[in-house]
Structure 1
Amino acid sequence: MKNRLFYVLFVISLSLCLYLGQVSLVFLNLGLNLGASVSASEVSNSKLILPGLNDYKNGDFLGAISKWKGVLNNLSHGDTVTVSKYLVRAYQQVGQIENAITTLNQLVAYYKKVGARQEMGRMFTELAQAYSSLGQRRKAITLLCGDSEQCTSYSAVTIARESSDSIGEMSAIISLGNTYRLQGDYNQSIKYLEQALTNAKKYDYNSYILSTLNGLGNTYVTLAKRSRRYLEFAIQTGDKTEEEKFTSSSRDFDNKAISYFEAGLALSRGQNSINELRLMINLAVPYHHSRTVNETKSILQQAHNLLNLNSNSIPDSRDKAYAIIRLANLYTLVTVPIKAKETDAYSCSNQIPSETIELLQNAVTLSQRIKDKQSLAFAQGQLGHVYECQKDYSKALELTQQAQLLAGIEPTHYLWDWQAGRILQSQGKNTEAIAAYETSVKALNSIRGDLAIAGRDVQFDFRDTVEPVYRELTKLYLEQEVQANSQIKNLEFALETIDGLRVAELQNYLGSDCTLPTISKPVTRINLHTAIINTVILENRVAVILTLPGNHNNSTSQLYWAFVTRSNVSSIINDLRYNLENRSDLTNAYQQKASQVYDWLIRPFEQQLQQSKIETLVFIHDGIFRTIPMATLYDGNEFLVQKYAIANTLSLTLTEQTQLSTQDLRVLAFGLTQRSVIEGSIYYEPLNYVKFELDNIKSVLPGSKGLIDNAFTPERLKQELTQNNFPIIHLATHGKFGIDSRDTFLVTGKLESDVGTKKIKQYNEKLTMNKLYEFIRARRNNSLELLTLTACETAVGSDRDALGIAGLSLQAGARSIVASLWQVDDESTARLIGSFYKHLRQGMSRAKALQKAQKQWLQQNSNERKHPGYWAPLILVGNWF
């Protein structure tokens, strides 16, 4: 069931037809022309095969599958091969990808046995497309090209070239370009699709020209979507430079997408109705963002007219049903504000165009005619959403419940459970709404891992299509007015739900490059002197939940509401972060905001914390709270760290409770002291105290090893990690946590040359977090106790950046991580870290060792250097024991 999620996610983003259209076009030219009559040259026993073909052409794909499977044993060997190809196409149509793969593997084995290398290469392409649709992009790329840039001998591209099979080569290259797009490697996608376009024009293959133009358009649409998502984060962080950059890039990408789609449309007009329809629908998205409303409405009307005039010439199919559904949703999209996204399934417009309702009703009729439950569920579910927006909740619920029944156990069920929950909540039926939301969240939890390996463009939609389900259920739990004796149960449910969101959020951030490791012994109870503080940011208030240790290994939780809006929280936290970074501020401007946040999170519980003799506070934060160090919260007299040891974690279920052993406590340290520059002419200042920092570590922890500057290369790091088992890895170099795990990197001392210009430039090579993860995971002993990063930074206000710190720790298999939230004074860092390691060696917990180092700094330094900008950016995430 899980593998069907990828199919579902494409539909959620309403771009399914973009991809399947290309797949079917490629299949068409690989011997699967099911629309034409069977000729004597194709099969020797057409009477046995024709009934299945008739079912297929009438949209009864399951009927076709049944008939073809029923006659396989009665066919000649050659006819069996042909019908097996037909079955592959039918399996694709109904989403039975695993069956398609099984059949394709049988075809590969057959062609290999008979020495038909050209046909075997073509089957590799089809297999790759099937694996790609299941999210297995790397496997698809290996089948298409192998692991090298030049393409290995046993790959679809090379086999086609060696066989002088121009059609097979173009099909493989187009598939390669589309797969790279889905993997998020857009430069590679464009490279291969442009190569395919050149070849298609050379041979004058119109169908491949169309497919490639469509693929290039889709890639640039995805790039535009990514830029708009990054733009949202730039606005959130108040970065005007980044805001201008992503505004411009999204517009440029939209214009490129439009140029490719329009070129394809000009080529397809009057020749192929389904391609013409697909391209018109595709055009509407970049038009919506970069053209006028009238231009967008015009292209939608053209698509609608084409559908009405050529309905009979466009065969009934699931693809056609989804195209109609997408067209219906696009009609609604152009009536809502420009900021609305095509993937925002929760947004409502009061102005539902008549075309939307008409098209959705047509999609219902079509799906019923072809007996396709999945497209029928989507058509009825979307129609239910229309009535939800119109506040006709009775009709909306009726249609939604029909969609629920049709979806059955499919992953799509979560969408309709979520929708039912919203409708019931609007009707004031909170108990029934909670039940619907619970079913939806349960379904999401079961497919959480699959969300990670969906296409990167689908992952950008996480906040629109997944996150709201968890948040709305959490809100219902927290706001549920129940009797006092069951309030605790609701708090437990709320904490479990928001925990599920945080795990899903982290998996979404890491993407397909990492699967979250299973924690063998997660924290299941709180030790005697530790308290947990959870935050949940709602639209008009913040829920703060304190969990204290209780008797008999039990814990108790209590809820406090801070009545502050989401926008005010963001504004205050961003102001505080700016003030914390401003070390030259002698007025201590940070104190006002730090006191305000203290009043929200700590002051309501001061008495309970004192009575329970709490020594360590563990914060499990929501959103923007992750971007500031809790150590800096101020009660008017002293910082929070002066009273409590502090740690952060994303989820207790991802946190081990093992104590740090002081035996053989050694550090493998790498550092960069020199001025550095990375590609794109981004310069970093020298870190003058890094040598002192590493020497100090070797002094405090004998047996430690330190390598700096040109000795700090990815290759040397990999070698040291492979050959030695250090429990602590320390990297003192510039780095950045980004919005996406692929934007997160460290700067190494290895120089690489750029010979693309008249003047050769040298850049410092970047070490991506994914590559670091691979190095650490390759160690002989995977138990890494601590990863320390002392010169990295996160963007002000970007909770995605801060999420990367927790992500890196788990990705690398480290039990905890100490990292800097912003660029720090490297002298203070060197001294703080030395003190931290000294206290670790003395047997202190990780949290208390960091607290002791920071308290000593405050005691030993003058007023100016007591500013949090010097000592506070280092935070502990993960295991605090």
Structure 2
Amino acid sequence: MLQRREIAQHSDSKIQNPNSTILYFPALAKTSAVNSTETSRLVQQSQALYEAGQFIEAVQLLEKAANEFKANNDALNEAIALSNLSLAYQKLGQWQEATEAIAQSIKLLQTLKPSDSSQEQAQILAQALDVKGGLELARGQTEAALGSWQEAVKIYQQLNDTSALIRDRINQAQAMQALGNYLQAHKTLISVQEILQKQPDSALKATGLDSLGNVLRSLGYLNDSYKILEESYFVARRVGDAIAQSNALLSLGNIARAQASAQISLGNSKSANDYTKTATQYYQQAVQIASVTPTVRLQAQLNLLRLLVEQKQFSTAKALLPQIQSQIANLPPSRTAVNYQINFAQSLSKMRQNSIQPKDVAKMLAQAVQVANDLKDERTESYALGTLGELYEQTGQLSDAKDLTQQALVKAESIDAQDIAYQWHWQMGRLLQKQSHIPAATDAYNRAYNALKSLRNDLVAINPDVQFSFRESIEPVYRQYVDLLLQLPDNTNQKPDNLLQARQVIESLQLAELDNFFRSPCLLPRVDLDKLVEKQKYTAVIYPIILDNRLEIITKLPGQDTIYRNTTKISKNVLEKTVEQLQKDLPIASREPDVKQSSQRLYDWLIRPIETNLTNKNIKTLVFVLDGALRNIPMAILYDKQQQNYLIEKYAISLAPGLQLVDPKPLQNVQLNVLVAGVEQERVIEGQSFAELSNVTQELKQVQSEVKTSKKLLNQDFTEINLEKQIQSTPFSVVHLATHGQFSSDLEQTYILTWNDLLKVKELDNLLRTRGESRPETIELLVLSACKTATGDKRAALGLAGVAVRAGARSTLATLWTVDDKSTSEFMGELYRQLDAGVTKAQALQHAQLAILAKENRPYFWASYVLVGNWL
């Protein structure tokens, strides 16, 4: 939680709002006669105050200047002052005042008569539209923001103002991203990159590349972002611009640091250490170069300190403390100064076991509260109060912590800052729970949950670093809320509303994880969950929920309104270690005894408690909405020691990333028209070696032999261009790709191998959806044969879920590990025979797996396949 707040503040000030500095005062001095030396002085003072973060004082001077310009009938300068006044109001969170100021500015500019300075008037109007767009984006009016920036672009094009065009196109990309149009945003940024690369080296080019790199990071294109930021640094170095160099190094450090955090959450300690070293080097370089930009130097030191603390390198971290402390002490009172104090205090609070006293941290935060209060900056004051409350929570002073958290909440809600409020609702819920006030705690968690839902766009599309702290700052809210909802004495006294809400929260968590994976909040529920399940006569839906001290299983059975809850007393650590070991053993054919032992334990924990209900209802198909580590293994593998059989021998099985995202329609009466494609030969792409897949030709022949209509792309013919042409030209009901692929929780490491490229998940998404414009027919089934989950990635199956919900197909059949064996072609032949016979996709998968199991009992050969999405 601490990490997310610190980064968000930095992002707000440096990356996400390019219009956050006053752009127009130099024009004021050059272009219009200032009727009063005093007015001119007010203008210059207000600029200095704004840049120092003293927004209250800047507002006062700008209001005075605007009134004097109005009294002197100087409409052009009045409009400039009002635009800048809007910017200052935005910094204070005074949205209504900011809206009124920019509206007055634009109205003045639009009513000015053409004059000798018409070009200048046009430029000032475009700049005012920039401010308006920034305000609209900040208020969540994303489409309006996009419109304002598009208006500004038209003016800048007429004026041939390249630098302003670059800035506004980056702004537009942010708005497109917030609307979920990430592919459009990416195309816009590519055009910006092309413009920038044609420009001669300059400080402006370096700054533009820095902004571009940071927005690409927010879209999840980390490799592209890194390359562009590196280019920004080299341009800045060539032109000798120290400020641009230090900014680029800071941004590069932030990317490496975020990657280190992501690798830690995945359990990849070696990769995390490598990224940490890289980030440390960048931050240290930024500190050395940033002597002329003390704020960048201090930000780099603070980020480096946070990184060292996260890595528990406390002795190195302590060496930084005196330097940071002296710099913070010398900062003038401002929002920036308060944010730096909060940032510093958060790091110190994590070093409390290393001679850092809580009272010293509390004193620093209390000072931050006082400064924010003096500045009348309620947003920053809320941060300071809430962080101080969190410190008291850590030290066990729960009563004081509650008082401070409540004060922080009041401040946040007074300015409708839900991105802060959710954190304090969550904090209040934890505090109440620690005091055993469970109903009140549950209510607080419900408020945090609702705030997160309202913030969906902002969290995944406006803050570029949330994806790396999702597991620390967002996911726990959902899990802890479910834990509270399910803290009831026994099954006989269940409150149906609590169970329904718990299930809804888990559905929302699945959706939030996918949003976070794609960096795009555009996955929308399609169906009413309960109506969907009630229609499926022999289908049960199972929600396993992994909590710290138990496994909760919520089951929805057909033909009745009630849902069931069962609890298995097993710790999260034991469950995850069992799953992890099974995940390692499954891709090794010789480890069948170990696989059986682990899968038996999982059966007893997950299926045994509900098997009586399944039997009594004559259930034939199980649809799992899996949680956490369970997504990394096939449910078909669960082994019943009593009956000596696997789960697939009893039930057809399907997975859903969240039932509300599934659009279930039967495959029956759809003629199978299959596009088959694959790469059999050994390939080396982007420095990676991909081994020969010797059975691909046989697999594709087997598929073609079972269907009436098909088209094949093999080896050199299987390119992205050819794949797109075929999909656009023919209404294929099935797309079957037999090639190397990988699923990962990292967007850039989720891909399919074509002959000459790695087709990343976003490009695959775009490619499979392109025919929607010309051919409305939905792809019924996407088959991804010879794919695997990324080694060492505990959340790798998130990539598979991502492909399944965004690939433009109703269902996705994929492998969790590569089986390059003749059994694969036999499996596929049986699968298509069953599909052609008219059974459901889940049943076709079951029959195909049983056909292989009858010949080869080792799970390595038959258990790799999972069906995600529509099971009918």
Indicate whether the TM-score tops 0.5.
yes
Aligned to 1:468: 476
Question: 1:429 aligned to 2:437?
Answer: yes
TM-aligned CA distance change 1:689 to 1:662, over 3 Å: farther
SS in 2 for 1:581: coil
> Contact 1:574–1:796 at 8 Å: present in 2 too?
no
Over residues 719-773 of structure 1, what are the superposed CA-to-partner deviations in whole Å (9 max), with x where a residue is unaligned? 01111111111111111111212211111123xxxxxxxxxxxxxx211111111
2:815 paired with 1:809: no
Partner AA of 2:460 in structure 1:
A
Aligned position for 2:505: 497
Counterpart-to-counterpart distance in 2, 1:731 and 1:801: 20
Q: Which residue of 2 aligns with 1:178?
A: 214
Q: Which residue of 2 aligns with 1:876?
A: 867
CA separation of 1:456 and 1:738: change in aligned 2, threshold 3 A = farther
Structure 1 residues 531 and 682: CA distance shift in structure 2, 3 A? same
State the partner residue of 2:749: 743
C-alpha contact (below 8 Å) 1:157/1:168 kept by paired residues: no
**Change in 2 beyond 3 A, CA 1:225/1:156:** closer
1:720 to 2:726 alignment: yes
- Would you say the 8 A contact 1:293–1:334 is kept in 2? yes
| Number of the residue aligned with 1:577 | 583
Query: 1:194 Cα deviation (Å)?
Result: 4.7
Structure 1: gaps of 5 or more residues: 1-7, 236-242, 338-349, 751-764
* Aligned counterparts of 1:144 and 1:233: Cα–Cα separation in 2: 27
Unaligned 5+ segments in structure 2 are 103-127, 134-147
Aligned-pair CA distance for 1:459:
0.8
Partner of 1:683: 690
Residue 776 of structure 1 is matched in structure 2 by 768
Task: Measure the CA separation in 1 of the matches of 2:150 and 2:62.
Answer: 20
Cα drift, residue 290 of structure 1: 7.0
| CA deviation after TM superposition for structure 1 residue 584, in Å | 3.0
How far apart, in 1, do the equivalents of 2:188 and 2:670 lie? 45
- Say if 1:44 and 1:146 are closer, same or farther in 2 by CA, change over 3 A: farther
Corresponding residue SS for 1:460? helix
**Is the alpha carbon distance of 1:799 and 1:503 closer, same or farther for their aligned partners in structure 2, counting shifts above 3 Å?**
farther
- Kindly indicate whether the alpha-carbon contact (under 8 Å) linking 1:449 and 1:507 is maintained by their aligned counterparts in 2: no
1:746 partner SS? strand
* Residues 1:428 and 1:284: Cα distance change in structure 2 (over 3 Å): same
Give, in whole Å, the separation in 2 of the partners of 1:479 and 1:27.
Answer: 47
1:814-833 CA-partner distances (Å, limit 9, x unpaired): 21111101111432121112
How far apart are the structure 1 equivalents of 2:867 and 2:185? Answer: 43
> 1:391: how far off?
1.4
CA 1:562–1:725 in 2, change beyond 3 Å: closer, same or farther? Answer: same
| DSSP-derived class of the 1:584 partner | helix
- Aligned-partner Cα distance in 2 for 1:836–1:504: 33
- Tell me which residue corresponds to 1:381: 386
CA offset digits 1:232-264 (Å, max 9, x no partner): 4245xxxxxxx43x0442243133223322213
What whole-Å deviation, never above 9, does each CA across 1:681-737 have from its counterpart, x for those lacking one?
Answer: 4332x2222222222222211012222111111110010111111111111111111
Query: Is 2:75 the partner of 1:90?
Result: no
Question: 1:398 is matched with which residue?
Answer: 403
Q: Structure 2 matches for 1:555-570, cutoff 5 A?
A: 555-570=561-576
User: 1:274/1:674 Cα in 2 relative to 1: closer, same or farther (>3 Å)?
Assistant: closer
- Letter of the aligned partner of 1:16 in structure 2? Q
CA, structure 1 residues 142+41, in 2 after alignment: closer, same or farther (shift >3 Å)? farther
For the residues of structure 1 that align with 2:188 and 2:685, how far apart are their CA atoms?
29
- The answer to whether the Cα contact below 8 Å between 2:13 and 2:20 also exists between their aligned partners in 1 is no
Q: What is the aligned partner in structure 2 of residue 16 from structure 1?
A: 9
Contact 1:815 1:879 in 2 (8 A): yes
CA distance in 2, matches of 1:844, 1:263: 67
Which secondary structure does the structure 2 equivalent of 1:516 belong to? coil
Q: Does 1:362 find its partner at 2:367?
A: yes
- The DSSP-based 3-state class of the residue aligned with 2:732 is coil
Within 2, Cα distance between the matches of 1:668 and 1:140?
A: 27
Select 2:254's aligned residue among 215, 221, 230. 221
Query: Map of 1:243-642 to 2, 5 A cutoff?
Result: 243-244=269-270, 246-265=271-290, 267-268=291-292, 274-288=295-309, 292-308=313-329, 310-311=330-331, 314=332, 316-335=333-352, 352-408=357-413, 409-411=416-418, 412-481=420-489, 484-512=492-520, 515-519=522-526, 524-526=532-534, 527-550=536-559, 554-585=560-591, 588-636=593-641, 637-642=644-649
Counterpart CA distance in 2 for 1:495 and 1:140 is 30
1:668–1:191 CA distance, 2 compared to 1 (3 A):
closer
The answer on whether the counterparts of 1:145 and 1:151 sit within 8 Å (CA) in structure 2 is: no
1:829 maps to a residue whose letter is: T
Deviations 1:647-692 (A, max 9, x none): 11121111122111333221111112212233224332x2222222
How do 1:781-800 residues align onto structure 2 when only pairs under 5 Å count?
781=776, 783-795=778-790, 798-800=793-795
Residue pair 2:527, 2:660 contacting (<8 A) in 1 also: no
SS where residue 844 of structure 1 aligns?
coil
Q: Determine which structure has the larger helix proportion and give its number.
A: 2
2:662 to 655, 658, 680: 655
Note the C-alpha offset of 1:86: 2.4
Deviations 1:808-852 (A, max 9, x none): 011112211111011114321211122112111211111111112
Question: Distance in 1 between the 2:348 and 2:733 partners?
Answer: 58
Which of 59-68 and 385-394 deviates more? 59-68
Q: Displacement of 1:111 after TM fit? A: 10
Q: Distance in 2 between matches of 1:114 and 1:622?
A: 50
Q: Return closer, same or farther for 1:847/1:524 CA change in 2, 3 Å cut-off.
A: same
Among candidates 813, 818, 830, match of residue 813 of structure 2: 818
Give 1:422 shift. 0.5
Deviation at 1:145, TM superposition (A): 11
- Alpha-carbon distance, 1:135 to partner: 7.9
1:816/1:880 contact within 8 Å kept: yes
Task: Number of aligned residue pairs: give it.
Answer: 810
Q: Distance in 2 between matches of 1:505 and 1:24?
A: 26
For residues 16 and 450 of structure 2, the distance between their equivalents in structure 1, rounded to whole angstroms, comes to 32
- Root-mean-square deviation over aligned CA pairs: 3.6
Task: Tell me: CA distance 1:276–1:114, structure 2 relative to 1, closer, same or farther (3 Å).
Answer: closer
TM-score, normalised on structure 2?
0.84
Structure 1 residue 69 displacement after superposition = 6.7
More moved, 104-113 vs 389-398: 104-113
How much does 1:791 deviate?
0.7
Measure, in 2, the Cα distance between the counterparts of 1:144 and 1:736: 23
Deviating more after overlay: 595-604 vs 712-721: 595-604
Supply the distance in 2 between the matched residues of 1:629 and 1:145 (Cα, whole angstroms): 37
TM-score (norm 1): 0.83
Query: Within 2, Cα distance between the matches of 1:233 and 1:624?
Result: 11
* Distance change (3 Å), C-alpha of 1:130 and 1:401: farther
CA contact (8 A) 1:144 1:157 kept: no
- Aligned partner of 1:755 in structure 2 is none
For residue 344 of structure 1, what is the aligned residue in structure 2?
none
* Partners of 1:53 and 1:464 in 2: CA distance: 44
Partner of 2:74: 76
Q: Distance in 1 between matches of 2:18 and 2:748?
A: 32
Measured after TM superposition, the shift of residue 793 of structure 1 is 0.4
**1:762 equivalent in structure 2:** none
